[in-house]
Amino acid sequence: MIDYTEIIKYIKPITTEISILKSVVESSVTNNNTVDPLVVFFQDDDNKSAIVGFLKPDSLEDTIVKFSEVMHLYGAINSSAAIVVMTAKMNHDNTIYETLNLFALTDSKGWVITLPYLLQNNSVVWYDNLSEILNIDDAQYDGPMKEMISMLYFLTHLDNQAYTAPEILSYLTTTGATVHLCEGHEIGYYDMSNQS
């Protein structure tokens, strides 16, 4: 079993969010659907404020660009934390596993959580023994992972936002992103997703 004690200090509902995300993966994968990337934003450590998702791009580089667009919202809505969600593949002992990858981020800490799984007999089997949590400060990264972590660090540490939350949300809807504002976090913006 993975120990989320350190993360709970910063993102109290992390175990609940992971359970929800695992359920999304199980439902999507068993129905031959892809798991699209998304970001869950929090205020005050345990109060979910917004969820923004987008269709999975064709390349990791395009995924990083999409996440950078979405993560501008972090400072614009005064987030205390965010969970960035994507899927990938992992090779372990010559077995290719699918993985649910989470970047749990705050202003002061960050973790990469890798949760491997396989589809067996139309069911998702999680391999908790291969799961890991890495403190971003304790690990060395290169290539696209380093770019992703650098971008996430930068966008969770901006003091002066270039755009307001309504401007960011309006822009995101033009890109096809889905925006869900959680109860108590109403932000007026112009939904341009249905514009011709």
Q: How many residues does the chain have?
A: 196
Q: How far apart, in whole angstroms, are the C-alpha atoms of residue 196 and residue 193? A: 9
Beta-carbon contacts of residue 179 (< 8 Å; ≥ 6 apart)? 50, 51, 52, 169, 172, 173, 189, 191
Count of Cβ atoms closer than 10 Å to residue 50 Cβ: 23
What's the pLDDT at 193?
64
Q: What is the pLDDT of residue 6?
A: 94
Q: Are strands 178-181 and 47-53 parallel, antiparallel or unpaired?
A: antiparallel
Domain housing 122? 5-181
pLDDT attached to residue 190: 65
The C-alpha atoms of residue 53 and residue 33 are separated, in whole angstroms, by 15
Residue 109 falls inside a structural domain: yes
Domain membership of residue 192 (yes or no) is no
Please report whether residue 191 resides in a domain.
Answer: no
Residue 30: other Cβ atoms inside 10 A: 13
pLDDT tens digits, one per residue of 145-167: 788 888 888 888 887 788 899 99
| Separation between Cα atoms, residue 26 and residue 172, nearest integer Å | 27
Extract the residue ranges of the chain whose pLDDT is less than 50: 196
**Total-model pTM:** 0.90
Residue 188 within any structural domain of the chain: no
Would you state the pLDDT for residue 161?
A: 81
Short-list 65, 111, 102, CA closest to 83:
102
Distant-in-sequence, close-in-space partners of 57: CB < 8 Å, separation ≥ 6: 63, 65, 66
Query: What pLDDT, on a 0 to 100 scale, did the predictor assign at position 111?
Result: 94
pLDDT of residue 100: 96
Q: How confident is the model at residue 150, as a pLDDT?
A: 87
Q: Is residue 187 part of a domain?
A: no
Query: Is 194 part of a structural domain of the chain?
Result: no
**pLDDT tens column, 90-110:** 999 999 999 999 999 998 899
Please name the residue that has the structure tokens 């400072």. 75
Domain assignment present for 195: no
Burial class of 152 by CB neighbour count within 10 A (0 to 12, 13 to 18, 19+)? buried
Number of domains the chain contains:
1
Are 20 and 113 in contact, with CB atoms under 8 Å apart?
no
Domain-located, residue 186: no
Asked if residues 75 and 41 have their Cβ atoms less than 8 Å apart, the reply is no
